């Protein structure tokens, strides 16, 4: 992929059909996701890749300011860990949010999401950091002991072996009891992405 490749030919570079077969999307839906991808990837730097700032802007519309949660999602989407999202990474990651994607994938994604330090466990400090972030997001200030109580309650429920951290097995069990924790892991729009972003992209095999 040379840098002189125009956006149009980059679309051709991606084999939509194989992306469709690897993900929950149909061919038409991959194309529709491509329309979305193009929109996001050129909102700040028009280089056909999604940068963190662009991802933040698309989600929060806040001119790309850092955000603990958005940045975590971005890092998880960035499968190649090179600081940008290409179309393949975008489609594959977004596929986890498809209503038909297996719950196990969604559970794993949330586990990695909340394991801020990548230690393989969700630790107390991480939870506290996220609780503080969400309260800040809501402009809500609570006394420290209330926050500690909130974190404590969560660990009492999730940390079944009481070793002070939540491992993947404990997380699976916990999410099983609290299915609404996966609510934001499903984007209903993905079911009808073809109508939200009609694409009619040219480069497709004629089937009819």
First CA to last CA distance, the chain: 32
**Which residues in 133-152 contact other proteins (CB under 8 A)?**
133-134, 137-142, 146, 149-151
Residues contacting 140, CB < 8 A, separation 6+: none
Residue 91 sits in the site that holds other proteins (CB under 8 A) = no
Residue 178 sits in the site that holds other proteins (CB under 8 A) = yes
How many whole angstroms separate alpha carbon 155 and alpha carbon 43?
40
Residue 8 Cα distances to 57, 82, 202, angstroms: 24, 23, 10
Of the pair 47, 181, the CB lying nearest other proteins is at 181
Contact with other proteins (CB under 8 A): which of 88, 131, 168, 172?
Answer: 131
Of the pair 82, 156, the CB lying nearest other proteins is at 156
Nearest Cα residue to 103 out of 171, 55, 57, 17: 171
Cβ neighbour number for residue 97 with a 10 Å cutoff: 18
Please count the CA atoms within 13 angstroms of the CA of 164 that sit on its side-chain side.
Answer: 1
Residue 5 Cα distances to 41, 43, 45, 47, 182, angstroms: 15, 19, 15, 10, 39
Residue 159 sits in the site that holds other proteins (CB under 8 A) = no
Window contacting other proteins (CB under 8 A); options: 6-14, 41-49, 52-60, 81-89: 52-60
Window contacting other proteins (CB under 8 A); options: 2-10, 41-49, 67-75, 79-87: 67-75
CA 99, chain centre distance (Å): 14
Question: Tell me, what DSSP letter sits at residue 24?
Answer: S
The least CB distance from residue 193 to other proteins, in Å, is: 7
The least CB distance from residue 38 to other proteins, in Å, is: 12
Residue 192 sits in the site that holds other proteins (CB under 8 A) = yes
Contact residues for other proteins, defined by CB under 8 A: 26-28, 31-32, 36, 40, 58-61, 67-71, 73, 94, 97, 110, 113-114, 127, 130-131, 133-134, 137-142, 146, 149-151, 153-154, 157-158, 174, 177-181, 183-184, 187-189, 192-202, 204-208
């Amino acid at each position: 992929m040379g840098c002189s490749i125009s956006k149009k030919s980059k679309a051709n570079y991606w084999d939509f059909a194989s992306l469709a077969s690897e993900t929950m999307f149909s061919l038409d839906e991959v194309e529709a996701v491509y329309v979305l991808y193009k929109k996001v990837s050129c909102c700040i730097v028009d280089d056909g890749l999604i940068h963190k700032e662009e991802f933040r802007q698309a989600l929060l519309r806040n001119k790309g300011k850092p955000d603990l949660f958005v940045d975590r999602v971005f890092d998880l989407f960035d499968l190649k860990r090179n600081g940008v999202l290409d179309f393949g990474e975008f489609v594959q990651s977004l596929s986890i949010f498809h209503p038909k994607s297996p719950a196990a994938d969604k559970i794993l994604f949330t586990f990695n999401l909340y394991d801020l330090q990548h230690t393989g466990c969700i630790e107390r400090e991480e939870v506290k950091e996220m609780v503080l972030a969400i309260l800040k997001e809501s402009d809500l200030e609570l006394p420290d002991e209330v926050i500690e109580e909130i974190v404590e309650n969560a660990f009492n429920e999730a940390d079944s072996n009481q070793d002070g951290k939540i491992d993947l097995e404990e997380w699976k069990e916990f999410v099983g009891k609290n299915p609404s924790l996966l609510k934001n892991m499903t984007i209903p729009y993905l079911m009808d992405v073809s109508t939200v972003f009609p694409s009619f992209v040219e480069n497709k095999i004629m089937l009819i």
